Amino acid sequence: MNGVLVIDKPAGLTSHDVVNRVRRILGERSVGHLGTLDPSATGVLPLVIGSLTRLAQFYLKSEKSYEGVIRFGFATDTYDAEGQPTTPPQMITLDDSQVEELAGNFRGVIEQAPPPFSAKKVQGVPAYKLARKHQQVSLKPVQVEIKELTIASVEGDRASFRAQVASGTYMRSVAHDMGQRLGCGAHLETLRRTGLGEFQIGDAHTLEDLEDAVRRDRLDELMVHPRKLLPHMPAVTANDDSAARIRSGRPVNLPELSTARRVKVYYGQRELIAIATRVAGTLFHAGIVFAAEPAVQSRDSQAR
């Protein structure tokens, strides 16, 4: 069972909770996720399954798109609605021009301090573990890029937004820092990820959809077509001889891709068999081979 599946993560589950549930539904242990989502966040959570878990290394710097709501009037220790207030609540009524001007300060390349409740490490310890023990957490600002930050609407003390950001950007920190700029405090009330790399919310399926597809033996209909993966990377379809060489780890000649540094190699229309790197001229070596996995046992045989 090798493939990529996009789950519409519900609120209240960690990304790892989703992975564990999908492992049980599919009866497959080799399941990983791309791009962690906070428990309260929803939306696009791509899962890599079987031998395609090795694709994760190519998505470490993927751009992400979000929709959400920032609530102004008080800050929280987690920078989102799950945390405890850290500033006295204030009555505030925003106007469109005020929030739009504020958002302009956060577009482009900026310095951003990650939230104390995050997986960033302090002397080898995740910051959130220290924060839960009420220990002082001081994380150094890092450069991030916010490619788009659009204020969709403003109502009372809340502002709805759309954003497209580079990897490593925390929307919780954006909300918190906006509140500091206004002097009233703010936190991220809701967040929904609408895209990660080539995976969009329209590709996503609920966990209930997945359970139903497995019951009806229609799992293939939910999987991302292998030809849509890593669209920026050139692709080639191997014949029987080339495919055999690639699967056995031997170099192969690919004259049609003489200028590419790295290529996806398919066998037939749906099987991604390798990621190959150019050695010299038109000679490529498959550094990553997606070997076929053994068939998953039925639940009956597992029960025995």
Taking alpha carbons only, the member of 64, 5, 85, 73 closest to residue 191 is 64
What is the pLDDT at residue 141?
87
CA 217/CA 49 separation, integer angstroms: 17
What is the pLDDT at residue 213?
97
**92 and 56 assigned to the same domain:** no
* Measured CA angle at 11 (ends 5, 17), to 5 deg: 55
What is the pLDDT at residue 126?
67
Cross-strand pairs, 262:
277
Known catalytic membership, residue 8: no
What is the pLDDT at residue 119?
67
pLDDT tens digit sequence for 1-15: 899 999 999 999 999
Among candidate residues 38, 80, 157, 203, the one labeled active-site is 38
- Which residue shows structure tokens 């799992």? 219
What is the pLDDT at residue 105?
96
Residue 272: give the domain boundaries.
233-289
Looking up residue 257, the CATH number of its domain turns out to be 2.30.130.10
In this predicted structure, the answer to whether residue 296 has a pLDDT above a threshold of 70 is no
pLDDT tens digit sequence for 167-212: 999 999 999 999 999 999 999 999 999 999 999 999 999 999 999 9
In this predicted structure, the answer to whether residue 293 has a pLDDT above a threshold of 50 is no
- Residue 284, in any domain of the structure: yes
- Residue 294, in any domain of the structure: no
What is the pLDDT at residue 304?
32
What is the chain's Cα-based Rg? Answer: 23
**56 and 204 assigned to the same domain:** yes
> How many domains is the chain partitioned into structurally?
3
pLDDT tens digit sequence for 213-224: 999 999 999 999
N-terminal to C-terminal alpha carbon distance within the chain: 21
What is the pLDDT at residue 297?
40
- Which residue shows structure tokens 């310095």? 111
Looking up residue 102, the CATH number of its domain turns out to be 3.30.2350.10
- Top pLDDT among 118 and 64 is at 64
Torsion of CA 64, 42, 14, 88, to 10 degrees: 100
- Top pLDDT among 126 and 204 is at 204
In this predicted structure, the answer to whether residue 280 has a pLDDT above a threshold of 90 is no
**19 and 72 assigned to the same domain:** no
CA 10/CA 43 separation, integer angstroms: 7
Is the Cβ–Cβ distance between 44 and 269 less than 8 Å? no
- Residue 304, in any domain of the structure: no
**125 and 177 assigned to the same domain:** yes
In this predicted structure, the answer to whether residue 295 has a pLDDT above a threshold of 70 is no
CA 43/CA 175 separation, integer angstroms: 19
pLDDT tens digit sequence for 72-95: 999 999 999 999 999 999 999 999
- Residue 31, in any domain of the structure: yes
In this predicted structure, the answer to whether residue 69 has a pLDDT above a threshold of 70 is yes
**19 and 82 assigned to the same domain:** no
